[in-house]
Chain A
Amino acid sequence: MELVTQNFQFLLTGAYYTLLITIVSMFFGLLIGMIVAIARLKGNWFVRNLAKGYVSIIRGTPILVQIFIIYYGLPDFGITLGPLTAAFISLSINISAYLSETFRGAILSVSNGQTEAALSLGLTPWQTMRRVVLPQAARVAIPPLGNTFIGMLKETSLVSVVTVTELLRSAQLLIAQYYVAMPFYVAIALMYWIMSVFFSSILNRMETRLSKAY
Chain B
Amino acid sequence: MIEVNKLGKSFGDLVVFRDIDLHIRSGEIVVLVGPSGSGKSTLLRCLNGLEVPDEGSIRVGDATWNASMDASAKKEAVRHIRTLTGMVFQSFNLFPHMTALENVIMAPTIVKKRSKAQAVETGESLLAKVGLLNKKNEYPSRLSGGQQQRVAIARALAMQPQIMLFDEPTSALDPELTGEVLSVMKQLATEGMTMIVVTHEMKFAREVANRIIFMSDGKIQEEGSPDQFFVQPQTERARKFLRQLASEPETE
A binds B: yes
| Chain A residues engaging chain B, CB cutoff 8 angstroms | 111, 113-114, 116-124, 127, 131-132, 135-136, 139, 210, 212-214
A122 and B106 contact, Cβ closer than 8 Å, known pairs A113-B93, A116-B93 = no
- B98 is contacted by which of A122, A123, A213 (Cβ under 8 Å)? A213
CB within 8 Å of A: which residues of B?
48-50, 79, 82-83, 85-87, 89, 91, 93-99, 106-107, 110-112, 139-141, 152, 155-156, 159
Q: Does B50 lie within 8 Å of A131, measured CB to CB?
A: no
Inter-chain contact A136/B82, CB cutoff 8 Å: no
Give the residues in chain B near A135, CB-CB below 8 Å. 97
Assess whether A131 is in contact with B96, with CB atoms less than 8 Å apart: no
In this complex, the member of A111, A113, A116 whose beta carbon has the largest number of chain B beta carbons within 10 angstroms is A116
The minimal Cβ–Cβ distance linking A118 to chain B, given in whole angstroms, is 8
Given that A113-B89, A213-B141 are contacting pairs, would A123 and B110 also be in contact in the complex, using a CB cutoff of 8 Å? yes
Chain A residues with CB under 8 A of B111 = 121-123, 127
B159 engages A122 (CB within 8 Å): yes
Minimum Cβ distance to chain A for residue B13 (Å): 23
**Number of A-B pairs, beta carbon distance below 8 Å:** 69
Please tell me if the beta carbons of A117 and B89 are within 8 angstroms of each other in the complex. Answer: yes
Residue of A127, A132, A210, A212 touching B95 (CB-CB under 8 A): A132
Contact between A119 and B107, CB atoms less than 8 A apart: no
Kindly provide the distance from the CB of A112 to the nearest chain B CB, expressed in whole angstroms: 9
Closest 7 CB pairs of A and B: A117-B93, A121-B107, A120-B87, A213-B139, A113-B93, A122-B111, A122-B82
Q: Are A114 and B89 in contact (CB under 8 A)?
A: no
Contact B107 A213 (CB under 8 A): no
CA distance A170 to B79 in the complex (A): 59
Cross-interface CB contact of A122 among B50, B95, B107, B141, cutoff 8 Å: B107
Kindly state the separation between the CA atoms of A145 and B141 in the bound complex, as whole angstroms: 25
Q: How far is the CB of A109 from chain B (nearest CB, A)?
A: 12
Interface of A is mostly: helix
Known: A119-B49, A122-B79. A214 touches B141 (CB 8 A): yes
Q: Give, as a whole number of angstroms, the nearest-CB distance from A40 to chain B.
A: 22
Find out whether the CB atom of A121 lies under 8 angstroms from the CB atom of B155. yes
* Alpha-carbon distance between A118 and B95 when the two chains are bound, in angstroms: 9
| Contact residues in A for B94 (Cβ distance below 8 Å) | 117
In the assembled complex, the CB of A125 is this many whole angstroms from the nearest CB of chain B, namely 10
Q: A132-B95, A136-B96, A213-B140 are in contact. List 4 more A-B contacts (CB 8 A).
A: A117-B89, A117-B94, A122-B107, A136-B97
Which of A122, A123, A136, A214 neighbours the largest number of chain B CB atoms within 10 Å of its CB?
Answer: A122
- With a cutoff of 8 Å between Cβ atoms, the chain A residues found around residue B82 in the complex are 119-122
Contact B107 A123, beta carbon cutoff 8 Å: yes
Residue numbers in A under 8 Å from B50 (CB-CB): 116, 119-120
Q: Which residues of A contact B85 (CB under 8 A)?
A: 120
Q: A132: which B residues are within 8 A, CB to CB?
A: 95
User: Which of the residues A111, A114, A122, A127 comes within 8 Å of B83, measured between beta carbons?
Assistant: A122
How far apart sit A213 and B140, CA to CA, in the bound complex (Å)? 8
Task: Note all chain B residues with C-beta closer than 8 A to A114.
Answer: 93, 95
A121 adjacent to B156 (CB under 8 Å): yes
* Nearest CB on B from A7, distance (A): 48
Chain B nearest CB, measured from A114 CB (Å)? 6
The minimal Cβ–Cβ distance linking A97 to chain B, given in whole angstroms, is 28
Q: A93 to B244, alpha carbons, bound, how many Å?
A: 61
In the docked arrangement, what's the CA distance between A114 and B91, Å? 10
Report the Cα distance A157→B44, complex, angstroms.
58
Residue B110 contacts which of A116, A117, A120, A127 (CB distance < 8 angstroms)? A127
